[in-house]
Amino acid sequence: MSDHDAGPGNLPPGQIESEDFPRFGLGKFAFRFPEDPANVEISVRGDVGTPVTIRGEALASLPRHDQVSDFHCVTTWTKRSLHWSGFRFRDFYEMLAEPRAHPDADASLVVLRAQDGYDQSLPLGDLLAPEVLLADRLDGRPLPIAHGAPLRLVAPAHYGYKNLKHLCGVELWRDDRAYRFAGPGFMDHPRARVELEERGKGVPAWILRRVYPALVPPVRWLFRVALERRQTRP
């Protein structure tokens, strides 16, 4: 038995296994979609010497990495054993972003931007972990729009809300500007580590654990209806 066959006892604190992997998120993003889901392009900006845009061809020069990992939404559902394929964020950063954009030496906060207007931040150190990917494939197929085409962040040690879909921008910020970024949700935790149950800020995790599950059915429904509407548009 591999680690990934582990039973429910091995789920992180407060999580429940989900049979399926729904399109999900913060309600206001349900009806927003990437403008150009085929265009793989990441702009690197912020406190850098030279702002640059890194295109799909450059990404394709990085070593491809396949990985099986669990996905943990803060509302308590977990989808186990997803097969992702893509590039390590660390390789993207060290082999492309750093040498081309020359970030300031003390730029340690990364603000991530998505094509649908969603954004999030994580410490650079968290993103350099080996299991953090820029994924363009899921379960052996090109990443679908529902799960973040053309490219999404996969950070399995962090709650789903840090796993940006439709990623298009990476900004390096110096520490002294970090406090200015909150994220799309007013309760977003700056790190949101699953094992430490950093579900949010301001409200204790044990309360969020009980309140959030009520949101799951309506949010699943909203995101499914929005996707169906997009797919059937003339």
Give the binding site for ligand MTE (CB under 6 A).
21-26, 29, 73, 114, 116, 118, 147-148, 160-161, 163-166
**Residue 84 touches which of ligand MTE, Mo ion, none (CB < 5 to 8 A by kind)?**
none
**Residue 114 touches which of Mo ion, ligand MTE, none (CB < 5 to 8 A by kind)?**
ligand MTE
Q: How far is the CB of 159 from Mo ion (least distance, A)?
A: 6
- Nearest by Cα to 23 from 196, 224, 225, 226: 224
**Residue 59 touches which of ligand MTE, Mo ion, none (CB < 5 to 8 A by kind)?**
none
Q: Could you give the CA distance from residue 36 to residue 58 in angstroms, rounded to a whole number?
A: 18
Q: Could you give the CA distance from residue 171 to residue 60 in angstroms, rounded to a whole number?
A: 21
Q: Burial code of 167-182, b = ≥16 C-beta within 10 A, e = fewer?
A: bbbbbbbeeeeeeebe
Q: What is the DSSP string of 163-193?
A: S-SSEEEEEEEEHHHHTT---SSTT--SS-B
> In the numeric block, which tokens belong to residue 25?
């998120």
Q: How far is the CB of 104 from ligand MTE (least distance, A)?
A: 26
Q: Does 73 bind Mo ion (CB under 5 A)?
A: yes
Burial (CB count <10 Å: 0-12, 13-18, 19+), residue 224: middle
Per CB under 5 A, the segment of 4-12, 66-74, 127-135, 167-175 that binds Mo ion is: 66-74
Q: Does 114 bind Mo ion (CB under 5 A)?
A: no
Per CB under 5 A, the segment of 42-50, 61-69, 74-82, 124-132 that binds Mo ion is: 74-82
- Nearest by Cα to 111 from 100, 101, 122, 103: 122
Site for Mo ion in 141-170 (CB under 5 A): 160-161
Q: How far is the CB of 81 from ligand MTE (least distance, A)?
A: 14
Q: How far is the CB of 12 from ligand MTE (least distance, A)?
A: 14
